[in-house]
Amino acid sequence: MHGFIENYPAVVKSPVQLQESGLLDTTTANDVKKADQAAGLKAAIYSLEFVLTLSAICDLYSHYARSVNVLQTVDILPHEKYDKFEEG
């Protein structure tokens, strides 16, 4: 989850920048449309449900990755593999 906390500001920053660029006086209709879409995306990203869901997915993936690394080790006895799997 540590990686999620570090990367969350970058996830939020992109829609905010898109929205702000579409609000300038010298924008085209296409930029305004992009800004409106970015506002909807920003509203979805700023929700507690999104943050908790994304955090849970990152946590599950982290545990999955560690488990796969242990299970793919070839030069280890089955009982040692099980012990490492239980530790992780």
CA separation for the pair 14, 38 (Å, rounded)? 9
Looking at 17-26, 27-36, 59-68, which range is the least confident one?
17-26
Q: In this predicted model, what pLDDT tens digit does every residue of 28-55 receive, in sequence order?
A: 777 777 777 877 877 877 888 888 888 8
36 and 74 share a domain? Answer: no
> Tokens for 54?
């994304």
56 and 71 share a domain? Answer: yes
41 and 52 share a domain? Answer: no
For residue 22, pLDDT beyond 70: no
CA dihedral for 41, 46, 47, 52, sign (positive or negative) = positive
For residue 83, pLDDT beyond 50: yes
pTM equals 0.50
27 and 68 share a domain? Answer: no
Q: What is the mean pLDDT of residues 14-27?
A: 65
Confidence band, pLDDT 50/70/90 cuts, at residue 1 = very low
More confident position, 65 or 70 = 65
